[in-house]
């Protein structure tokens, strides 16, 4: 046998091996979440069938709980989903550029065997020529079975819905909402403390949440706050850290005033750090017609006096407000939050297409109908 290659061949340089790191930060096990209620309530998730997701207000506690359970199973790779969406096309229409949200949705759809078409940059579209969002909505009817949209304008999405016959998912619209980011945020928190859904925390352990930012004009914190209201039984207080006079704005003021959760305001993060169990940070706010960096006054690092078991969320990309010294600490739930986004979005897509029962084995499915209301 000749091989022509001498095993003793002169090697000019030792092959360079790149070391790959392990996971860092706080990585709660999805299995802990589903342990509380293993079966998936089909009738609850079926409420999403054919639905557009414009606002976090689409979700109530039941729906968010079942969606998070479904996501946990997907993350644990318990279900066969590789061809579940093979006949479906998702359009990712990002008229405002974004990498994380677009790639996350595309990755979610591809994981499910679906297909994707994309607009990565609004400047390459008819929008640049002054086309109306309504006509753009009509366009997607022919091309896709679901459309994920990001846009700088708050009104763009509802305008798009006027002629759009397939479900639309809000991937962030101006200063309004980012509902699937909020799903990812709460998916991380629910895995971290399953009791938020599945129990009632003793009064002294009810959560104190700090939000750094102005929910009234920052879409991620707005949607996050709206979902927080669903878990009022286990949240003691939400403190908003902002330099603005009216960080809530009218819509959220209306929503929060009916909530049993105490909403507080502060301009001093450092003085309140020792009370906070969850800190939600954000880098930028969309104000008027552009983005403003929002971080200077409120920054955290491993030097900050955070409680040992406090977790930090951040939708990323981050600026200087969130120091890398926190990355390799248990406070870092933000990487887990990012990792989970792709799974909760898979769960959402499967539910919108009514394919829950196609991928969940029958014995894992609770087929009880919804109670009459």
Touching a second copy, residues 7-26 (CB under 8 A): 7, 9-24
Phi, psi of 180 (to 5 degrees): -80, -20
Q: Which one of residues 31, 49, 99, 354 is an interface residue with a second copy (CB under 8 A)?
A: 99
State whether residue 186 is helix, strand or coil: helix
- Contact call for residue 201 and a second copy (CB under 8 A): no
The CB-of-235 to a second copy minimum distance in angstroms stands at 12
Which CB, 260 or 308, lies closer to a second copy? Answer: 260
CA 198 to chain centroid = 21
Separation between Cα atoms, residue 160 and residue 112, nearest integer Å: 26
Assess 167 for contact with a second copy (CB under 8 A). yes
Of 167 and 174, nearer to a second copy (C-beta) is: 167
Q: How far, in Å, are 127, 172, 220 from residue 283 at the CA level?
A: 27, 15, 10
Q: Which of 40, 73, 106, 192 binds a second copy (CB under 8 A)?
A: 106
SS3 171: strand
The 267-306 site mask, x for binding a second copy (CB under 8 A), equals: ----------------xx----------------------
Instruction: Give me the sign of the Cα torsion angle 346, 350, 356, 358.
Output: negative
Least Å from the CB of residue 140 to a second copy: 8
Closer by beta carbon to a second copy, 134 or else 273? 134
Binds a second copy (CB under 8 A): choice among 29, 31, 86, 205: 86
For residues 13 and 305, which CB has a smaller minimum distance to a second copy in the complex?
A: 13
Q: Report CA-CA distances (Å) from 325 to 19, 294, 296, 322, 334.
A: 21, 20, 17, 9, 13
Residue 115, strand partner residues: 89
Which segment (264-272, 295-303, 332-340, 354-362) binds a second copy by CB under 8 A? 332-340
Give the distance from CA 60 to its chain's centroid. Answer: 16
With beta carbons less than 8 A apart as the criterion, state whether 262 and 194 touch.
no
R_g of the chain computed on alpha carbons? 22
C-beta of 23 vs 305, nearer to a second copy: 23
From 76, 120, 273, 287, residue interacting with a second copy (rule: CB under 8 A) = 120
Considering the rule CB under 8 A, would residue 365 count as an interface residue with a second copy? Answer: no
339-358 positions binding a second copy, by CB under 8 A: 339, 341-342
Do 291 and 97 touch, CB atoms closer than 8 A? no
Number of residues near a second copy (by CB under 8 A): 112
Query: How many residues can be counted in the chain?
Result: 373
Query: Are 31 and 340 contacting, i.e. CB atoms less than 8 angstroms apart?
Result: no
What residues between 24 and 53 interact with a second copy by CB under 8 A?
24, 36-37, 41, 47, 50-52
User: Binding a second copy by CB under 8 A: which of 168, 190, 278, 300?
Assistant: 168
Span of 207-215, 257-265, 273-281, 299-307 interacting with a second copy by CB under 8 A: 257-265
**Tokens, residue 157:** 């999405």
């Amino acid at each position: 046998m000749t091989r022509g290659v001498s095993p003793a061949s002169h090697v000019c340089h030792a092959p360079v091996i790149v070391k790959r790191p392990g996971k860092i930060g706080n990585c709660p096990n999805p299995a802990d979440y589903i342990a509380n209620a293993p079966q998936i309530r089909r009738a609850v998730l079926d409420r999403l069938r054919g639905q557009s997701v414009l606002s976090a207000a689409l979700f109530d506690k039941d729906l968010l709980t079942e969606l998070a359970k479904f996501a946990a199973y997907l993350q644990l790779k318990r279900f066969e989903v590789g061809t579940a969406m093979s006949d479906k096309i998702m359009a990712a229409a990002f008229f405002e550029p974004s990498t994380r949200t677009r790639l996350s949705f595309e990755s979610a759809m591809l994981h499910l065997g679906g297909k994707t078409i994309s607009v990565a940059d609004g400047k390459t579209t008819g929008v640049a020529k002054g086309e109306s969002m309504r006509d753009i909505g009509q366009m997607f009817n022919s091309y896709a079975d679901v459309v994920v949209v990001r846009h700088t304008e708050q009104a763009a999405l509802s305008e798009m819905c006027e002629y759009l016959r397939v479900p639309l998912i809000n991937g962030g619209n101006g200063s309004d909402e980012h509902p699937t980011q909020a799903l990812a945020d709460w998916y991380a928190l629910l895995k971290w403390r399953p009791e938020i859904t599945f129990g009632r925390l003793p009064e002294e352990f009810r959560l104190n949440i700090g939000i750094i930012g102005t929910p009234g004009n920052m879409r991620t914190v707005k949607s996050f706050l709206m979902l927080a209201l669903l878990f009022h039984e286990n949240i003691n207080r939400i403190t908003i850290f902002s330099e603005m006079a009216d960080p809530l704005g009218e819509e959220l003021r209306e929503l929060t005033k009916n909530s049993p959760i105490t909403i507080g305001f502060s301009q001093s993060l450092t003085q309140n750090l020792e009370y906070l169990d969850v800190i939600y940070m954000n880098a930028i706010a969309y104000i008027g017609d552009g983005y403003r960096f929002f971080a200077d006054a409120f920054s955290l690092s491993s030097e900050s006096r955070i409680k040992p078991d406090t977790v930090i969320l951040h939708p990323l990309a981050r600026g200087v407000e969130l120091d890398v010294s926190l990355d390799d600490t248990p406070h870092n739930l933000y990487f887990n939050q990012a990792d989970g986004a792709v799974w909760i979005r898979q769960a959402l897509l499967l539910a919108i297409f009514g394919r829950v029962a196609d991928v969940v084995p029958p014995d894992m499915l609770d087929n009880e109908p919804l109670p009459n209301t």
